[in-house]
Amino acid sequence: MMKNNNIENYINDKFNKNENFKIEEIKGDASNRKYYRAKSGKRKFIVMDSILEKRNFNNFLKFSSIYSKNKILIPKIFKKDLNKKIIFLEDLGENLIFNKINTKSSFKIYEKSILNILNIQKIREKNIKNYLHKKYLDESFLFINWVLKEFLKINISNADNKKLKKSIKFIIDNMNHNTNVLVHRDYHSKNIFYKNKKITIIDYQDSVYGSPLYDLVSLLNDCYRDIDIKSKNKLIEIFFNKFNENNSFTFSMDEFLHNFYLLTAQRHLKASGIFCRLSSKNKRHNYLQHLERTLNYIVNASSYYGSLDIINTYVKEVLNLLDESNYSRRW
């Protein structure tokens, strides 16, 4: 991983000697990648340093090719250094949809984001992994291991540990695994740009074949932003109708909501575990500000299933502990 002064020298060596690029580090995501904004006069671009994530670097290039070929908008790649795992990317500015949620055009932006999911789902390529049953399980167990045990040091009995795992298995077993489409897998307001009335996606290197509703859940039950219930229901209806129009496999609304709730529980068991792991292991505490919202999604989704009562109970206990300690608001 390069230090700021080294990356600045590296960039200036790569471009015209008459240009003098200045860099600033950009606050990144939950990965080990580093991002920088490089500027020289009117010229600017993003530098992605992936030296600590070589597998993801290769996946990024693979899916950049796949998405571009299929006319899904991604940032343009200007240069790449395969040895140093550095990529020079188009700078899309401050146009994340995260910044546009409370604007007059926010519903239209979200509608376009949903239609983009459906376009992604049309892609059929070889050599893309499936979202395996075991992967869903392991991700969901992050809640037990990192939220309950490591972060809050809750003493869980063997009996409750087994019940929690059984409930998580219920979630995964009862999701629809018969229809797999291409899934971005982290499709939320901090990974989607809206510029020139078009949707552009980033952070797509973990794409897999998975549930048609996974990206919808990520977008509408966003860990980082609230969407009002009226808009959310309307957007769900739009997606439901468009999906059933475009596919030979169709959902009834009951089946659709059943999968939506189960995927909500699964994704946010995973996300809450990642946030607590980032805090406990990596001292990256800023994600705790999103923990309460993330846990409330689990409470809401699990309330529809008696088999998930124990998850519901433990999540509510976590929320009470967070409220008492003010953990999620401290950062």
Provide the pLDDT for residue 42. 83
pLDDT reading at 99 higher than 60: yes
Whole-number percent of the chain with pLDDT over 90: 79
* Segment (H or E) for 195: strand 192-195
Provide the pLDDT for residue 323. 87
pLDDT reading at 3 higher than 60: no
Provide the pLDDT for residue 22. 86
Q: Could you say which DSSP state residue 96 is in? A: B
pLDDT, tens digit, for every residue of 197-209? Answer: 999 999 999 999 9
Q: How far apart, in whole angstroms, are the C-alpha atoms of residue 313 and residue 261? A: 17
pLDDT, tens digit, for every residue of 275-316? Answer: 999 999 989 899 999 999 999 999 999 999 999 999 999 999
pLDDT, tens digit, for every residue of 265-278? Answer: 999 999 999 999 99
Q: For residue 273, what are its two tokens? A: 């575990």
Which of 261, 253, 256, 260 lies closest to 301, judged by CA? 261
| Helix spans in the chain (H) | 4-14, 54-69, 106-120, 133-140, 142, 158-173, 214-220, 229-246, 253-282, 291-302, 309-325
How long, in residues, is the chain?
A: 331
* Lowest mean pLDDT segment, chosen from 14-18, 66-70, 73-77, 291-295: 14-18
Which of 313, 319, 317 lies closest to 295, judged by CA? 319
In three-state secondary structure terms, 42 is: coil
Burial class (CB in 10 A: 0-12, 13-18, 19+), 124: exposed
Burial class (CB in 10 A: 0-12, 13-18, 19+), 234: middle
More confident residue, 10 or 258: 258
pLDDT reading at 330 higher than 60: no
More confident residue, 52 or 222: 222
Domains in the chain and their CATH numbers?
4-89 (3.30.200.20), 97-329 (3.90.1200.10)
Q: What are phi and psi of 49, to 5 degrees?
A: -105, 110
pTM comes to: 0.93
